[in-house]
Amino acid sequence: MQWKTDTYAGWGRALTATGELARPERSRNITAEGPAIGNRRSYGDAPLNSDGKATDMSRMNRIIGFEDGIVHVEAGVTLGELTRIYAKKGYMPTVMPGTGFATVGGAIGMDVHGKNHHHAGSFGQHVTEITLRTADGDKTITPADDTLWRATIGGLGQTGVILSAKLKLTPISGGQMQVTETRAANWEQHIERLDASTAPYCVGWIDATAKGDAMGRGIIEEAEVTSGDYEAPKGGKKVPLDAPSFALSKPIVKLFNTAYYNRVPAEGRTVNRSFEQFFFPLDKVQDWNKLYGKRGFHQFQCVVPTNQVDALKAMLNAIAESGLASPLAVLKRMGPGRGGMMSFPMEGYTLAVDFPARDAAKDLIKELITLTAAAEGRIYFAKDSMATPAAIAGMYPEQTDWADAVNAADPDLTFATDLTRRLNLRGAK
């Protein structure tokens, strides 16, 4: 492969790496000399390898085959592309995160979840086969290869370079989403309506600036596939420059959140939306991460058990009092489904909030991580850029088993990343 030294970042842009990158177009050219990366939609340092090599898999984006609802794809194929191709044929990816730019390889490595986790589980639970390139050659694994499989799903790319995978798609009977939007006036009502939802897809937008009686207010979106022609996404707007620091100042964010909350009538409403509008709403704004300015942003995302809802309320109260939150804050009810030893989901509630990269945000995120640990929850490595090894101790009960498995598969730490080193996930070696 041809290597070129470059400086690159994750989606949050607050952390960067300088190292050698290669962008192969054929699997035969890929060498197991460093971790694989995709479109770098993980927010922190999960896709970074400072002073080392990394293989950019974004050009490995071919569809190899399709039969009986199972699609065989190279690792660089994006979930948005799969949606565009197969929605017209009566299928869609079973699990989709908040961006269609996520690659299949990245979705497996992070075992991503979507707005239907309470029904469908995580992405890795719908994968039937994975082909890895390791220092010892290629390995094709299935769920029958229990230890290596569960170390690979949600395994942060540490068992080898994912070359291709087979995914089980979901049959659909239409090309539109019927979305019912309902206001939640406060925290208690927000949780109550998430718990009561029986819709296939459900997500809550939360006003993380609201205080007092309005704390926790937001909008619950419940959705299902409905009839209608699939609409291909249109060209979106582009953010050409880094926004000035005042663009996401406290008064502006508060004003925006109030307007966004009031856009839904008090009695609620039901509308039809395209798949992309519902699943990937931010993708219509290219480079939206530039809205946070040149310093970038951090995201905090945690999940806590259902009996720790008061702990989550305490986190939201700390966020509201800080005045640091952006308009992007999401609350979801999660089910128990998870595909691997280091997969993020657990039965409970997940809260995700973006913060501009300011000094005060670092202290707040550290406080939120401490509250998460005390609530016996866990943070999401796809979003994290601030945690320490001590802070996450015990969050992932199978971490030791996972470390044993990946260290056996990769004894020379070839696939280690800035994230795995920062958090000492694989243990001291």
Are 199 and 335 within one domain? yes
Residue 14 covered by a domain:
yes
In the chain, the number of structural domains is: 3
Structural contact between residues 405 and 341, judged by C-beta atoms closer than 8 angstroms: yes
Are 325 and 217 within one domain? yes
Are 358 and 276 within one domain? yes
Are 167 and 110 within one domain? yes
Predicted pLDDT of residue 235:
76
Are 8 and 105 within one domain? no
Are 127 and 198 within one domain? no
Segment 152-168 shows an average pLDDT of 98
Residue 414 covered by a domain:
no
Examine the fold and report which residue of 150, 172, 194 is the final residue of a domain before the chain moves on. Answer: 172
**pLDDT band at 104, cuts 50/70/90?**
very high
Burial of 270 (0-12, 13-18, 19+ CB in 10 A): exposed
Segment 25-44 shows an average pLDDT of 96
Examine the fold and report which residue of 19, 39, 56 is the final residue of a domain before the chain moves on. Answer: 56
Are 145 and 17 within one domain? no
**pLDDT band at 184, cuts 50/70/90?**
very high
Q: Which two tokens stand for residue 253?
A: 């964010």
Are 240 and 193 within one domain? yes
In terms of C-beta distances under 8 Å and separation of at least 24 residues, what long-range contacts does 256-263 make, across chains too? 256/327, 257/207, 257/208, 257/209, 257/210, 257/327, 258/207, 260/205, 260/207, 260/219, 260/327, 261/183, 261/207, 261/217, 261/218, 261/219
**pLDDT band at 358, cuts 50/70/90?**
very high
Residue 420 covered by a domain:
no
Q: Which domain holds residue 258?
A: 176-392
Predicted pLDDT of residue 429:
53
pLDDT reading at 107 higher than 70: yes
CATH number, domain containing residue 127: 3.30.465.10
Are 242 and 345 within one domain? yes
Pairing mode of beta strands 297-305, 378-379: antiparallel
Predicted pLDDT of residue 313:
96
DSSP 11-29: TTBSSEEEEEEE--SSGGG
Backbone angles phi, psi at 31, to 5 degrees: -115, 145
Q: Is the pTM for the entire model greater than 0.85? A: yes
Element holding 36 (H helix, E strand):
strand 36-37
Residue 419 covered by a domain:
no
Predicted pLDDT of residue 116:
98
* Tens digit of each residue's pLDDT (9 = 90 or more) over 359-372: 999 999 999 999 99
* Tens digit of each residue's pLDDT (9 = 90 or more) over 245-279: 888 999 999 999 999 999 999 999 999 999 999 99
Are 39 and 152 within one domain? no
Segment 305-312 shows an average pLDDT of 97
Backbone angles phi, psi at 78, to 5 degrees: -95, 155
Predicted pLDDT of residue 103:
98
Predicted pLDDT of residue 135:
84
Segment 387-408 shows an average pLDDT of 97
Are 194 and 308 within one domain? yes
